[in-house]
Amino acid sequence: MDRFQAMQMYVQVVDAGSFSAAARIMNIGQPAVSKTIAQLEKHLEVRLLLRTTHGLTPTEAGQRYYERARITLQQAEEAEMAARGAGKGLSGVLRVAAAPTFSRLHVIPHLARFMDQHPQLKVDIVLDDRPIDLVAEGIDICLRMGTLNDSSSVARKLATTRRSVLATPAYLARCGYPQHPQDLTQHQTLVFSQLNNQWRFTRAGEEESVTAESRLHLSAAEGIRAAVLADMGITIASDWMFSQEIINGTVLRVLTEWQLPDIDLWAVFPGGRMATAKARQFASFVESCLQP
């Protein structure tokens, strides 16, 4: 039994919650995972895991071993990087989860630079607007926008941008320019169905709340972009979503004297484990991409 490999496998099993989930993440057969954990328990002469109706749960000894093991794995990764030297860069596989539209516009166009810096690194990007289980999917880092609700995760804020009321010149010429937030109730609003459709505005201490009653709800940000650019309606979105169109005038901001809450971009790391060096460096890379 390779003790270091067994330690890695055990940590992955605890993070994933089952032998089968760990096997999928590590791309090996479940029997190999079960056999390795059994060998590890025999070597340590202690029971590490208990089967429950909710999956696998570490014993008291198993939890102590898990906490020490993940620190050891993190230190081993740092030691390898130090031994290779900064010029060698990162290696292995980095799994990233991110929203498709944001990634297409602001991450993927710059990704070659990051990969050139780390020629031994493989990057696997999972593009999905919906929240996913970072541990079950084996994700090292997730890029999320908005308010974070998962208190078990570790997160780092990377950037902030404004939200704006946006539409094309053609739509505004056809339907008119709103002069007040309540005017939006008379427009064809385009709503991202994963977000609250209540829009809150402020202006010099004055507050207005508008509920967007839309005939068109879209479950992906890419759909909002396509509908706006097809002159179908007006929306509220982060400036990141239409950055180039705002610059070249293809999309216009309206109601600019009113403010909407800013939106934050977060690097989220799976709860219960330390962020890997690969994940931390990727977070810094994304942060650099968004600097003005």
pLDDT in tens, 111-126: 999 999 888 889 999 9
Rounded mean pLDDT, 72-79: 75
Residues 171 and 249 in one domain: yes
Look at strands 216-218 and 190-192 and give their pairing. Answer: parallel
**How would residue 253 be classed by pLDDT, with cut points 50, 70 and 90?**
very high
Q: Could you tell me the pLDDT band of residue 85, with boundaries at 50, 70 and 90?
A: low
- Which band of pLDDT confidence, cut at 50, 70 and 90, is reported for residue 202? very high
Measured at the CA of 164, the angle between CA 163 and CA 166, to 5 degrees, comes to 140
Q: Are residues 187 and 67 in the same domain?
A: no
* Distance of alpha carbon 269 from alpha carbon 275, whole angstroms: 6
Chain segment 17-27, per-residue pLDDT in tens? 788 888 887 78
Residues 42 and 56 in one domain: yes
Same domain membership, residue 273 and residue 153: yes
Average pLDDT over residues 135-151: 79
| For residue 52, pLDDT beyond 80 | no
Same domain, 94 and 154: yes
Instruction: Identify whether residues 48 and 64 lie together within a single domain.
Output: yes
Is residue 207 classed as helix, strand or coil in its secondary structure? strand
Same domain as 255, residue 169: yes
Last residue of a domain, one of 56, 83, 110: 83
Given this model, what pLDDT does residue 97 score? 93
CATH number of the CATH domain containing 127: 3.40.190.10
DSSP sequence for 223-248: HHHHHHHTT--BEEEEGGGGHHHHHH
The confidence score (pLDDT) of residue 249 equals 94
pLDDT in tens, 32-42: 998 999 998 98
15 and 147 housed in the same domain: no
**Residues 20 and 140 reside in one and the same domain:** no
Q: Are residues 154 and 169 in the same domain?
A: no
The pLDDT of 256-278, averaged and rounded, is: 83
Q: How distant, in Å, are the alpha carbons of 76, 114, 189, 235 from that of 37?
A: 20, 36, 55, 52
196 with 213, same domain?
yes
CATH code, domain with 36: 1.10.10.10
pLDDT band of 89, cuts 50, 70, 90: low
C-alpha to C-alpha distances, 92 to 123, 135, 208, 278, nearest whole angstrom: 9, 18, 50, 9
- Cβ atoms of residues 218 and 190 within 8 Å: yes
Report how many domains make up the chain: 3
- pLDDT of residue 248 exceeding 60, the answer is yes
Domain boundary among 35, 54, 83: 83
Contact 139, 21 (CB under 8 A): no
pTM of the full predicted structure? 0.69
**186 and 138 co-located in one domain:** no
The enclosing domain of 237 has a CATH number of 3.40.190.290
Tell me the percentage of the chain whose pLDDT exceeds 90. 39
Work out the average pLDDT over 257-284: 84
Containing structural domain, residue 199: 163-261
pLDDT category, 12, cuts 50, 70, 90? confident
Does residue 172 carry a pLDDT above 90?
A: yes
